[in-house]
Amino acid sequence: MPVPTERKAQLLSGNEACVQGAIAAGVRFFAGYPITPSTEIAEGLAVELPKIGGKFIQMEDEIASMGAVIGASLAGLKSMTATSGPGFSLKQENIGFAALTEIPCVIVNVQRYGPSTGLPTSPAQGDIMQARWGTHGDHPAIALMPASVREAFDLTVQAVNLSEELRTPVILLMDEVVGHMRERVELPATDEITVVNRVKPTEDPEHFLPYKPGPNLVPPMPAFGDGYRFHVTGLVHNETGFPSGKGKDGNILVRRLLAKIEQRQPSIAQAELYQADDADIVIVAAGSVARSARAAVKEARAQGLKLGLVRPITAWPFPAEAINSVATTAKAMIVAEMNLGQMIIEVERAACGRVPVIGLNRIDAELITPQDIIARAQEVTKNVR
Amino acid sequence: MKKLELRLSGFGGQGLITAGIILAEAAILDGNNAVQSQSYGPEARGGASKAEVIISNEEIDYPKVGEADLCLAMSQQACDKYAAQTRPNGILVVDSGLVKNIPEFPGRIYAVPITEIATSEVGRGIVANIVALGVINGITNIVTKESLETAVLDRVPPKTKDLNKKALKAGYQAAQKVLQREGE
């Protein structure tokens, strides 16, 4: 196995850890088109996949690579792609196709400064809403935001597992800072990693209905070539998988797509709370910004200012419960993000007006610093007293 | 040990990011925590390049370097920009062949012809980054000599191990020289 069975301290980048996580989770197909700051993931998998019988293919563009990923997943392989803003935009149509047709796949988006080509090598967190609503129509969304190299590994494994279990595209929403920074990390041993595989049908192929949901609302999925005949279409379909052209089938199908995530939501939505219980001001920050926030909490507390941190690990489903848990104890919340206010919308929604919610936003291509956060917290302290 | 923050700056192609990685790996071999990050322009060579390394025996949260304890400047542009972002009681190491005008700096300044040593003494300009690591560690002892050598040899192509060992040694010798001069 490529993943060492013994823990060993090493220096890895978030992108390198993502490669290791993909291999450990059982990803055996990658198609992509290189783009900064995600390229190291493609490079890493181009080296690692062939060694273990996997396939790597560099496609002509991002649209085609998303198509190849969907095709490979239908053929039975756990499949993944990696990109950044401009490529993420191009992949949206096929992400919607994968959502409607229930094809497991993982899309890594190492966020960079946008819109458009923007600042290719600079960090941002401007794709939080795109990860939810980038493709058209009502659809489920799962997006995970690692804040460390170890978490880049763990959440890659989790992204693959969730996509397999729920037959849905899952987005690993990194940012340039986490993707490119290297830090000391001990990866888990092989036997410490849980790997989930898609459920396959067991019934007689003669009577197989490809979109008949199982008890968890997820239809079992055969691979092409397993002996089950099925049809895959982006048109609204019924349990037979064939286009039906009927609104009532769309009503059943799209509601089920959302429900299969919603019924799992309490265990999918995750957040980390750090010194949040007794905090006067709670910082809400995800990804690399959460590291700055953690440093700010430590430094501010040493100065007598009681800060705390809620760090959403899943951007989607948004961990509203974690916000709820501090909305009545904190005097104010500061949402720090490298965009002009995306996650704050969800925080406000969860806080329901019980606590003032203030934004701290930077879009000058620099990571928000602990000092930025402390300065804003001091300002807010004056105003809420 | 307390937290140490280093900034290695210059232009793309000088191997500064590799140097940063090697230093961080040496710190890990010593049993410490390390974070390495970088910024660079879209072009691979010629644009501004900077690697940052934080070494600590505690958890490292904020991964970037604000005011550095040590700054290596391997271009005039980098020196002009980053000398001011170094702690007043910190250390500024400049490649004296590339940095002609050293800005006002209240801390310790060491001017070493790093690239020239790589070219003439070691024989290959490409190992200037390893010479620089020898210079930095010779002055500061941030990491143990054993760990640094192991980290260098683990990262470089097998055929260039001797060359890189020589480069590291030349760096240590140059550090000795400037320290002696300082003592006089």
Chain Cα centroid distance, residue B16: 7
Q: Given a cut of 60, is residue A3 above it in pLDDT?
A: no
Q: Where in chain A is the domain with CATH 3.40.50.920?
A: 271-384
- Identify the residue among A150, A183, A369 best suited for mutation to test binding to B, counting B beta carbons within 10 A and taking the highest: A183
CATH of A271-384 given 3.30.70.100, 3.40.50.920, 3.40.228.10, 3.30.420.40: 3.40.50.920
DSSP 3-state assignment of B157? coil
Whether A59 and A66 have beta carbons less than 8 Å apart is answered as: no
Q: Which amino acid is at A331?
A: K
Chain A: residues touching B (Cβ < 8 Å): 9-11, 36, 120-121, 177, 180-184, 288, 291-292, 294-295, 298, 367, 369-371
DSSP 3-state assignment of B94? strand
In degrees and rounded to multiples of 5, residue B88 shows phi and psi of -55, -30
- Binning pLDDT at 50, 70 and 90, where does residue A15 land? very high
Q: Given a cut of 60, is residue A1 above it in pLDDT?
A: no
**A97's tokens:** 């196709």
**A21's tokens:** 């996580």
Domain count along chain B: 1
What's chain B's length in residues? 184
Contacts of A182 in chain B (CB under 8 A): 21, 24, 35-37
Q: What is the ipTM of this complex?
A: 0.93
Q: Do A121 and B42 touch (CB under 8 A)?
A: yes
Task: Give Dmax over CA atoms of chain B in angstroms.
Answer: 45
Q: Which of A126, A127, A68 is nearest to A98 (CA)?
A: A68
- Binning pLDDT at 50, 70 and 90, where does residue A202 land? very high
Residue B167 neighbours by CB distance under 10 Å: 29
The CATH code of the domain that includes B158 is 3.40.920.10
Question: What pLDDT digit, counting tens, does each position of A332-364 carry?
Answer: 999 999 999 999 999 999 999 999 999 999 999
DSSP sequence for A77-101? -EEEEEE-HHHHHHHHHHHHHHHHH
**Mean pLDDT on B34-43:** 80
Q: Given a cut of 80, is residue A6 above it in pLDDT?
A: no
Average pLDDT across chain A, whole number: 96
Q: Which residues pair with A314 in a beta bridge?
A: A144
| C-alpha pair distances (Å), B69 with each of A137, B52, B72, B136 | 53, 11, 10, 12
In this structure, what DSSP letter does residue B52 have?
E
In which domain, by residue range, is B170 found?
4-183
Q: Do B63 and A181 touch (CB under 8 A)?
A: yes
Residue A325 neighbours by CB distance under 10 Å: 18
DSSP 3-state assignment of B154? helix
**Mean pLDDT on A123-139:** 98
**Mean pLDDT on A194-219:** 96
DSSP 3-state assignment of A45? helix
How many angstroms separate the CA atoms of B132 and B24, rounded?
A: 15
How many angstroms separate the CA atoms of A70 and A50, rounded?
A: 19
**A42's tokens:** 């493609």
**A355's tokens:** 């606590």
Q: Where in chain A is the domain with CATH 3.40.50.970?
A: 9-192
Task: Give CATH superfamily name and number for A9-192.
Answer: Thiamin diphosphate (ThDP)-binding fold, Pyr/PP domains (3.40.50.970)
Q: Do B66 and A9 touch (CB under 8 A)?
A: no
